[in-house]
Amino acid sequence: MNNDGKDLQTGRFVQGNEFWKMRSRHGNTPEYDSPEKLKEACEDYFEWVSKAPLYEDKVGFYEGEAVHTAVSKMHAMTIGGLCIFIDVTFKTWTEWRKNRPDLCNVIEWAESVIKQQKFAGAAAGLLNANIIARDLGLTDKTDVTSAGDKLKYVTLDMGDKKLDQQDEDNPV
């Protein structure tokens, strides 16, 4: 079975796969011919995410017996999840961003909502801050320079040996 719930040999969905239920609508692919329709679909996704937390199985012990408890976890919004929910491909979403000026404001708004939800969730400790920081492009960078120029001379002290490096073409 692969990640989309299909049998690798037959290409059919395996019994019990319910990924399709995540779609907001069933039937023909919806057409978003107005910003209002797209905004309504995005709002449906945001509402679904808020009402569909993920659950972690926590195991504890009571009187020598293992006790399982389902602990709800915040469900991070994603553009990919939104696309699946509103039944469009990510490629279509990015094409709309470039070529559909009528939808641009809604797309920017939806992407801002998703970014803010992830940032706030990570800041509050409800989502993994490292994963969210990478996803949002937030990084700590240390620029090792001298007055804006790269360092040109490095001495490594390795106990009884010293290695001097002066040439950037021959890295340490």
Domain with residue 77: its CATH number is: 1.10.132.80
Domain interval for residue 52: 19-144
Q: Can you tell me the distance from the alpha carbon of 109 to that of 2, in angstroms, rounded to the nearest whole number?
A: 33
6 domain-assigned: no
- Provide the mean pLDDT of the chain: 79
Model confidence at 53, pLDDT cuts 50, 70, 90, reads: confident
116 domain-assigned: yes
For residue 167, the surrounding DSSP H or E stretch is none
152 domain-assigned: no
pTM over 0.85? The answer is: no
Nearest to residue 47, comparing CAs of 84, 93, 85? 85
35 domain-assigned: yes
> Where does the chain have alpha helices with state H?
35-51, 79-86, 90-99, 104-123, 129-136
62 domain-assigned: yes
157 domain-assigned: no
Model confidence at 172, pLDDT cuts 50, 70, 90, reads: very low
Overall number of domains in the chain: 1
